[in-house]
């Protein structure tokens, strides 16, 4: 069997529209929040019928998940691009990058972390893995900063630090809860990481 398919006109148009639909949905979520996203608005903006959206994504959740998938990909790409020179600086930069992404795409990140599936359907494995991979990015620098410590301990520590940073950022940016200005948040995150590293016995430069 030949898996190298010739890209037909049909395939090209299909992919093009899929991309367009995700693009439109992302724009709507980003600007007005997940709760305001409507299938009909997406279909209208894309100039196609509601049925085509269903044909492409199965259901509403499918569309949302496709947007969320790309969100976590974009986040991971951004975090992965952070230079990994000095491990201490690496941690700070990871936190900064996360903050910048969260500030720019607050609603998209909320959609990723807060969206619940209909009827307890399982959360897609691939998105879960990508989130885990993002969580793990603090692992490498922590290993370098804490040589000799138990491997699993450091892994848990990495996940915990990431969760802490996530909490500080997501509550910090929550407008309804008197948001801290991003610059102020940036300082706080830096202080948080320094303090925590000091507590772990890492000498400060």
Partner DNA sequence: TACGAAAATGAACAATGTTCAAGTAGAATC
Partner DNA sequence: GATTCTACTTGAACATTGTTCATTTTCGTA
Q: Does 115 bind DNA (CB under 7 A)?
A: no
Structure tokens at 88: 């201490």
Please state, in angstroms and as integers, the Cα–Cα distance from residue 123 to each residue in 34, 69, 102, following that order.
17, 11, 22
Task: Give the one residue of 118, 147, 152, 205 binding a copy of itself; rule: CB under 8 A.
Answer: 118
DSSP string, 46-97: HTS-HHHHHHHHSSHHHHHHHHHHHHHHHHHHHHHTS--SSHHHHHHHHHHH
Q: 128: helix, coil or strand?
A: helix
Q: Does 95 bind a copy of itself (CB under 8 A)?
A: no
Q: Does 177 bind a copy of itself (CB under 8 A)?
A: yes
Q: Find all residues with CB under 8 Å of 117, minimum gap 6, and list them.
A: 61, 123
Rounded to the nearest whole angstrom, what is the least distance from the CB of residue 9 to a copy of itself in the complex? 39
Q: Does 8 bind DNA (CB under 7 A)?
A: yes
Q: Does 200 bind a copy of itself (CB under 8 A)?
A: yes
Q: Does 163 bind a copy of itself (CB under 8 A)?
A: yes
Q: Give the binding site for a copy of itself (CB under 8 A).
A: 33-35, 110, 114, 116, 118, 122-123, 128, 131-132, 156, 160, 163-168, 170-172, 176-178, 188, 192, 194-200
Q: Give the binding site for DNA (CB under 7 A).
A: 8-11, 13-14, 17, 37-40, 48-52, 54-56, 59-61, 118
């Amino acid at each position: 069997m030949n898996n190298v398919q010739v890209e037909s006109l049909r395939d090209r148009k299909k992919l093009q529209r899929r991309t367009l639909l995700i693009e439109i949905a992302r724009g709507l979520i980003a600007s007005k929040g997940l709760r305001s996203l409507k299938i009909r608005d997406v279909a209208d903006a894309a100039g196609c019928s509601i049925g085509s959206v269903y044909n492409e994504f199965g259901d509403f959740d499918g569309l949302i998940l496709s947007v969320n998938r790309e969100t976590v990909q974009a986040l991971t790409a951004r975090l992965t691009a952070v230079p990994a020179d000095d491990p201490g600086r690496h941690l700070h930069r990871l936190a900064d990058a996360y903050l910048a992404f969260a500030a720019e795409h607050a609603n998209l990140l909320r959609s990723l972390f807060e969206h619940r599936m209909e009827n307890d359907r399982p959360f897609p494995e691939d998105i879960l893995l990508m989130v885990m991979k993002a969580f793990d990015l603090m692992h490498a620098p922590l290993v370098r900063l804490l040589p000799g410590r138990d491997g699993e301990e450091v892994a848990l520590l990495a996940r915990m630090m990431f969760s802490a940073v996530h909490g500080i950022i997501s509550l910090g940016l929550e407008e309804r809860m008197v948001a801290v200005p991003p610059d102020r948040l940036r300082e706080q995150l830096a202080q948080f990481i320094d303090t925590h590293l000091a507590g772990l016995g890492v000498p400060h430069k």
